[in-house]
Every structure is written in C-alpha cells, then in structure tokens.
Amino acid sequence: HDADNLYLRFQWEDAEHVAVPFVDGGKMDPANQVKLAVMFATDDVQYASQAGCWGTCHEDLRTMPEHPGDPAAAGLALDVSKGVTKYIAASRTEIEEQGRRGKTLGGWDKLKDAAAIEAELANGQFMDLLRWNADGKVENGYVLDQRVMVGGAAVEAQGWLEAGIWTVEMKRPLKPGKPGDLDIEAGKVYNFGFAIHDDYSNARFHHVSLGYKLALDNAEAEINAVQAQVTAPAAGTAAPAAAAAAPVAAAAASGGANVDDGIDWSKAGERLITLFYPGQ
C-alpha cells in the first residue's frame, strides 16, 4: 500500500476446460473464463471473523437446494430478477441455521424494513465486495440485504493469462468514502477472503478461501500489506498484459491497465492459500 491505495495481486494456474453437462455449450458464463471476487469486513459482521465470505452464503440462495421457486411473489424490496443473492444476518429478523424439526434453512424472506437496512449499512454491517471479470468489467459493491454490485468508489483492476498462469491485480482506495465501502486504516485488522470462478463457471461453482486477517504494516496479520513507495512509471512503459499476454487476457486487461505501474512486487511478501470448492 501507499498513502492512498491498497494493491492486491493474485496468481493461480490455468486449467483445461471441462464442459458442464447441465448448460448448453458447457459454459455457465461464456463471456468470462475467470472472475475474481474479494471481500473485506470488520468483526462487527456476524461470522466474518470465523467464516469470512462464507457467512454470506445460505441454503436458500439461487442454485442452492432450498431456493424459492418464485421469490418475486413475496413482494420484498429485493432484486430477485436472477434469484435470491447473498445476504448477511444483520439484514434479517431471523435466520434458521440448524433446520431442526424440518424447519427450512435460511431466512431470505425475513427481511428487515428499509430504515433498518439503511441503519445497518451506516453502522458498518456489510461485507465490502470487489470483483474483476475476464471481460474487463470491474465492480465495487457490498453484501447486506442482497448482493449490490454498483455504487462503490472507483476501483482499478487488470488480469491476464501468460504461460499457464492467471494474474489479477487490484488497486483500491484505502478510504473510499462511499456507502458499502470499508475504510482500511493503520492499526486495525480486517477480515479478508476471496473466491475464483474459473473455467467459465458461475454462482456457487467457485473456489473459495477461508477467512484471513488483513492489516497494514502488521507482521502478525496473515495478510500483511506493507507500505511501499509507488514510483511514477517511466515514459512509454507498457501494461504487463499488453506485453506478453494471450489475446483473451489482453482484452481482459481493459478493466484497468497499468494498475501496478511503479510497484516493485519483489518488495512485497506472498502467501500460498488453499481454496475450497463448495459447489458440488
């Protein structure tokens, strides 16, 4: 990080395409070979410190076993055009977590009123969500009563495939100043997690990290963002994706070319993280 921004870099191996049998053409999201989503939250959000972004997932979300057949019929103030999306406990009056005596798991329809939702958002009850898509689209939103993918501060990101390795880099303001955006300050520790949709997958068919702790210049944090001097790039410097990426990656880099100009990644630490596949 520097005085104004947090920089993140992710790398993982590409995989051979395996067509899924339940979608025409075998690709759930044909426009995006990969997507990378990142979440931040404070300990104030229930389960954020124990489960990370897993705390937004419930049995009654779209594509999950108990998803409602016609969520629009409930008449709730939710965008259910694509089904019920992620939510956290602070947005509901009740969530069934154990399913005893045949009770349906989840609580998608136990929505608090609009005033209560606004109050929870103002009180930091949300998971900040960033997402880079291989088609070049970069999104900054949050999860509270539902997944909202608009309205956040401008975030830059780029990604490319080179020599069998995907690389995605993000540049995010430390203090975005927008509803649903989390300020990241020195001396504090934040919950951090990420997920990768690869091989044109979508919805629950992603690889997900466990929850980790992220902080600025804190050697005890699992993800320690160290302060570095980000220098101005030399004139004529090309973006990494433009230099040697495969065509699909070069197109994908349009989401924010030159995100890492002036950064010496060799000065930053790295961590190998195992991802889990809950989609089966």
Q: pLDDT tens across 156-172, in order?
A: 999 999 999 999 999 99
Mean pLDDT of 75-96: 95
- Prediction pTM value: 0.87
Read off the pLDDT of residues 213-222 as tens digits, 9 standing for 90 and up: 999 999 999 9
pLDDT tens for each residue of 45-78: 999 998 888 889 999 999 888 899 999 999 999 9
The model's pLDDT over 168-222, given as tens digits with 9 standing for 90+, comes to 999 999 999 999 999 999 999 999 999 999 999 998 899 999 999 999 999 999 9
- List of domains in the chain: 5-59+124-267 (2.60.40)
Beta-carbon contacts of residue 210 (< 8 Å; ≥ 6 apart)? 51, 52, 54, 193, 276
